A and B are shown apart, each in its own frame.
Chain A
Amino acid sequence: MAKNKKREVQEINASSMADIAFLLLVFFLVTTTFDSDYAIERRLPAKIDTKDTVSKPIEPRNVFILLINKRDELFVNGERGDMKKLKEDVKEFIKNPADKPNLSEKSEKYVQSPLLKNGRYTKSKGVITLQGDRLTSYKKYIAVQGILTAAFEEMRNEIAQREFQTSYAELKEKASKGNNEDVKKKFAERVDAIDDVLPMAISEAETRKSAEKK
């Protein structure tokens, strides 16, 4: 025993530690996918169960008809549309800054919320309908959906900047993340106020049957 004490404990060779760590590292490197889940969120229209509720016909000026045919060509109100111009067209249609008679009508109803300090906001009556064909490709459909979302996001952002001096995205972020429930609620209310002034009025109409489909 006494003999043992005199002997120094041998150091463990740690040079293989790096190898082990490398092995693990390589495993995680290979399995990692930086799969950030980006998505376009939508709400499907509610089911109409009773047929006797007569829905008021929408004025033609309030509808912005987008159609993608089976050859992935875009038509805006019946004419060939340009993807690059689409965003500005949508924004102009909804906002109608010059009160043009062929663009969307503004509702007389004012949105008044204690949160909005600029007071009265006119709501647009405009609705965008997006129709596709059964043979339309999904990528074209999503590209158009992306542009529509971008247009609405920009318009909402303008309101957010004016009312709360911050971006709409930041309000949304603060409404969903954080530990303080009260703070989250406060931001959620602001988001709701903006959504109320500018609802995402996109109607995803049923796709039409193509003649090619048998």
Chain B
Amino acid sequence: MLNKKKKKSVPAISTASLPDIVFMLLFFFMVATKMKEVTLKVEIKRPFASFATKLDDTNPIKTVYVGKPIASMQSTYGTESRIQINDVIASDVSGLVQAVEDWREEIGDANIPKLTVLLKIDKNTKMGVVNDIKKTLRDREQYKIAYSSSKGDDAEEAN
């Protein structure tokens, strides 16, 4: 029995369907990919919250980033927490005033009450900066905000 099998040569496996499989995977990733809209110049690790909801993306969302500047930016911006708006690191919180004006102009008058400002803030930031941002937004009557966070418990904190 063994001998018989050995004599027969194993037929080559057809690889004709390989492209199909690969294409299927490719399409999946193409659909699932969301391109980053800005280059981050600050490092952001999201904080954990036991409960968080998905943002309703039918309404306009604009993002403010806060964190320590990334290594290549530290020579110009230092290592203290900085605020990044759009593609630039703002010198201080007052840069937010202009940004809110720009966003409002961009989305149009009708959408202004729907605008949510998403705060993507590094978890090791001190609340002082966060509070300055909140105060500025409140002064500009931009009341809808959201704190970006990961769902679940912080693994590092558990120890």
Q: Does B118 contact A (CB under 8 A)?
A: yes
Q: How many residues of B contact A (CB 8 A)?
A: 57
Interface residues on A, range: 35 or more
**A142 interface residue per 8 A CB criterion:** yes
Question: Which among A24, A32, A44, A204 has the greatest number of chain B C-beta atoms within 10 A?
Answer: A44
Alpha-carbon distance A25/B24, docked complex (angstroms): 10
A134 located at the interface, meaning its Cβ lies under 8 Å from any Cβ of chain B in the complex: yes
Q: A38-B148, A44-B143, A132-B131 known; A147 and B50 CB under 8 Å?
A: yes
Contact, CB under 8 Å: B22 / A137:
no
Tell me the dominant secondary structure on chain B's binding face: mixed
Checking B33, B55, B125 against A137 with a beta-carbon cut-off of 8 angstroms, the contacting residue is B125
* Inter-subunit contact B147/A142 (CB<8 Å): yes
Q: Name the one of B49, B122, B146 contacting A146, with C-beta atoms under 8 angstroms.
A: B49
- Residues in B with CB closer than 8 Å to A37 are 54-55, 57, 118, 148
| B142 nearest in chain A by CB position | A44
Residues in A whose Cβ lies below 8 Å from that of B137:
44
CA distance A21 to B36 in the complex (A): 23
Once bound together, how far apart are the Cα atoms of A167 and B143, in whole Å? 27
CB neighbours of A25 from chain B (8 A): 22, 25-26, 29
Given A37-B55, A138-B122; A149-B26 close (CB under 8 Å): no
Report how far A132 CA is from B131 CA in the complex, Å. Answer: 9
Interface residues in B105-159 (C-beta closer than 8 Å to A): 116, 118, 121-128, 130-131, 134-135, 137-139, 141-151, 154, 157
Residues of A within 8 A of B116 (CB): 41
Cβ of A47 within 8 Å of any chain B Cβ, yes or no, is yes
- Tell whether, in the assembled complex, residue A135 and residue B128 are in contact, meaning their CB atoms are under 8 Å apart: yes
Chain B residue at minimum C-beta to C-beta distance from A207: B131
Tell me, yes or no, whether B35 is within 8 Å of chain A by CB. yes
A145 CA to B48 CA in the complex, in Å?
10
Would B146 and A139 count as touching, CB distance under 8 A? no
| Pair B34/A35 contact, Cβ less than 8 Å | yes
CB-based nearest A residue for B123 = A139
**In the complex, per-residue mask of B13-56: 1 if CB is within 8 Å of any chain A CB, else 0:** 00110110011011001101111100000000001111111111
The one of A29, A47, A133, A169 in contact with B127, judged by C-beta atoms closer than 8 angstroms, is: A133
Cβ of B141 to closest chain A Cβ, rounded Å? 6
Which residues from B are CB-within-8-Å of A35?
Answer: 34
Expressed in whole angstroms, the minimum distance between the Cβ of A197 and any Cβ of chain B is 19
Known: A28-B30, A43-B143, A176-B56. A138 touches B131 (CB 8 A): no
9 contacts between A and B (CB under 8 A): A24-B26, A33-B34, A38-B52, A44-B134, A136-B127, A142-B123, A143-B154, A146-B48, A146-B50
Given A38-B52, A138-B122, A138-B125, 18 more pairs with CB closer than 8 A: A14-B16, A18-B22, A32-B29, A37-B57, A39-B147, A41-B53, A41-B146, A47-B141, A134-B131, A136-B126, A138-B123, A138-B127, A141-B47, A141-B130, A145-B147, A147-B50, A147-B51, A177-B58
Closest 4 A/B residue pairs (Cβ): A146-B49, A134-B128, A150-B51, A139-B123
